[in-house]
């Protein structure tokens, strides 16, 4: 794999994390966003994160050396010589399609294009590209510097070379590729996890088990740090309902249908930690009510 320069478009939560891990591995990384404020914030986030890693002895060089490899710009043109473009802008099909159309007009023919979408089909994002075979999904998990799995997703048009490059790049970053060979809704990890989450909600809805016991069981029996309902309160019940509805609408498979208990809680504004009430209740300081 010959790669020297990476262009990360969208310098938010995910983009800044992706730029950081690239720079930590010695790549020249340029972040693009729509305004200087977003880019300043991203640079500060990266600085804090690498300094923390250095304090913990997890960085093999000085933080300043890593940070020196990251540049920030609002001008897409500075990425014309990138070997790999990773898009991490808003989760909106039109925004992503428009962006890749512009990118395609700027970068060279050898450049691999990747999207970090959570749920939009890779094939839809690449629909209007003249070279959709060089587009793939690289689905990083949050927080990027800490999470070691990355889904490598093959769109309908993605060619073998691009798909294999995705795996190689993920390994180069020191992470593990999870190869998703078909472009399906929810990809592999969130899709499988979703079923456990939905079943957990149904079990509570049917009075089979309390949220407390279910979460405790997941922690003690399955070695998870948090159970599915604790996680649901953290992520936001509204965010989950939207994601599950999207997968259900695409698949029309009842196993993905969000249960009434989730729909009603969202309708009542019980969205989890952010509203003080979800599967559990929270004090104003964020601690859980007993
Ligand atoms: N947050 C997560 O946990 C998570 C996990 C996996 C994947 N994702 C996906 O990653 C992508 C980014 O998510 P995020 O949480 O980092 O979002 P975010 O809102 O933190 O960041 C998105 C950034 O993109 C910028 N942006 C929007 N349009 C742009 C454009 N045309 N050109 C340049 N920059 C643009 C915004 O200004 C913003 O800074 C989404 O597709 C999301 O679904 C998110």
pLDDT tens readout for residues 220-266: 999 999 999 999 998 899 989 998 998 999 999 999 999 999 999 99
Residue 32's nearest CA partner among 50, 6, 51 is: 6
- Dihedral angle computed from the Cα positions of residues 75, 80, 81 and 87, in that order, rounded to the nearest 10 degrees: 70
Q: Which two tokens stand for residue 24?
A: 């930590």
Task: Point out the domain boundary residue: 130, 152, 180.
Answer: 180
| 173 plus 199 within the same structural domain | no
Q: Is the CB of 23 under 6 A from ligand 1?
A: no
Does residue 149 sit in the same domain as residue 78? yes
Same domain, 153 and 172: yes
pLDDT mean across residues, the chain: 96
Pocket test for ligand 1, best of 9, 14, 34 (most atoms within 8 A of CB): 14
Task: Specify the DSSP class assigned to residue 79.
Answer: G
Q: Write b or e for each residue in 13-52: b if 16 or more Cβ atoms lie within 10 A of its Cβ, otherwise e.
A: ebbbbbbbbbbbbebbbbbbbeeeebbeebbebbbebbbe
Distance 38 CA to ligand 1 centre (A): 11
3-state secondary structure of 50: helix
In the residue annotation, 139 being an active-site residue is answered as yes
182 within ligand 1 shell (Cβ under 6 A): no
For residues 226 and 220, give the distance between their C-alpha atoms in angstroms, rounded to a whole number.
10
Instruction: Establish whether 118 is a catalytic residue.
Output: yes
Tell me, what CATH number does 252's domain have? 1.10.1040.10
Share of the chain above pLDDT 70, in %: 100
Asked whether residue 92 falls in the same domain as residue 228, the answer is: no
Please give the tally of structural domains in the chain: 2
95 Cβ inside 6 Å of ligand 1: yes
Q: Tell whether the torsion through CA atoms of 107, 114, 239 and 280 is positive or negative.
A: negative
| Whole-angstrom distance, CA of residue 136 vs CA of residue 113 | 7
The token duo for 59 is 């960085």
Instruction: Please indicate, yes or no, whether residues 200 and 174 belong to a single structural domain of this protein.
Output: no
Do 49 and 147 fall into the same domain?
A: yes
In a shared domain, residues 164 and 218: no
Question: Domain for residue 280, yes or no?
Answer: no
pLDDT level of residue 2 (50, 70, 90 thresholds)? confident
> Does 288 map to a domain?
no
**Average pLDDT estimate for 207-219:** 98
Classify residue 143: in a domain, yes or no. yes
Q: In this structure, are 117 and 87 located in the same domain?
A: yes
Domain membership of residue 76 (yes or no) is yes
Q: Please tell me whether residues 159 and 204 are part of one structural domain.
A: no
Assess whether the C-beta atom of 14 lies below 6 angstroms from ligand 1.
yes
- Structure confidence by residue, pLDDT tens digits, 110-159: 999 999 998 899 999 999 999 999 999 999 998 999 999 999 999 999 99
Which pLDDT belongs to residue 1?
A: 72
Q: Are strands 176-180 and 149-153 parallel, antiparallel or unpaired?
A: parallel
DSSP string for residues in 231-269: HHHHH-HHHHHHHHHHHHHHH--GGGPPPHHHHHHHHTT
SS3 (DSSP) at 275:
helix
Instruction: Confirm whether 246 is a catalytic residue.
Output: no
Full residue range of the structural domain in which residue 156 is found: 5-180
Last residue of a domain, one of 180, 212, 243: 180
Instruction: Flag whether 11 is in a domain.
Output: yes
Question: Helix, strand, coil shares of the chain as percentages rounded to 5?
Answer: 50, 15, 35
């Amino acid at each position: 794999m010959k790669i020297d320069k990476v262009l990360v478009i969208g310098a938010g939560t995910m983009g800044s994390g992706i730029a950081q891990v690239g720079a930590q591995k010695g790549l020249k990384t340029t972040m693009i966003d729509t305004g200087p404020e977003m880019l300043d914030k991203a640079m500060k986030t990266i600085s804090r994160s690498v300094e923390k890693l250095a304090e913990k002895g997890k960085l093999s060089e000085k933080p300043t050396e890593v940070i020196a490899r990251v540049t920030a710009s609002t001008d897409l043109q500075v990425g014309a010589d990138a070997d790999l473009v990773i898009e991490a802008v808003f989760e909106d099909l039109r925004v992503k399609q428009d962006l890749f159309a512009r990118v395609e007009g700027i970068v060279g023919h050898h450049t691999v294009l990747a999207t970090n979408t959570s749920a939009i089909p890779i094939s839809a994002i690449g629909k209007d590209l003249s070279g959709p075979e060089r587009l793939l999904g690289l689905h990083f998990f949050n927080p990027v510097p800490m999470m070691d799995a990355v889904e490598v997703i093959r769109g309908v048009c993605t060619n073998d070379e691009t798909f294999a490059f995705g795996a190689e790049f993920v390994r180069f970053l020191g992470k593990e590729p999870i190869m998703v060979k078909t472009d399906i809704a929810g990809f592999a990890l969130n899709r499988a996890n979703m079923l456990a989450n939905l079943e957990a909600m149904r079990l509570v809805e049917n009075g089979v088990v309390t949220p407390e016991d279910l979460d405790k069981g997941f922690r003690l029996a399955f070695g998870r740090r948090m159970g599915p309902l604790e996680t649901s309160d953290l992520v936001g019940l509204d965010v989950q309902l939207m994601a599950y509805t999207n997968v259900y609408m695409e698949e029309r498979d009842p196993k993905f249908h969000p249960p009434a208990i989730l729909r009603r809680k969202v309708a009542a504004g019980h969205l989890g930690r952010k509203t003080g009430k979800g599967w559990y209740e929270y004090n104003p300081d964020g601690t859980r009510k007993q």
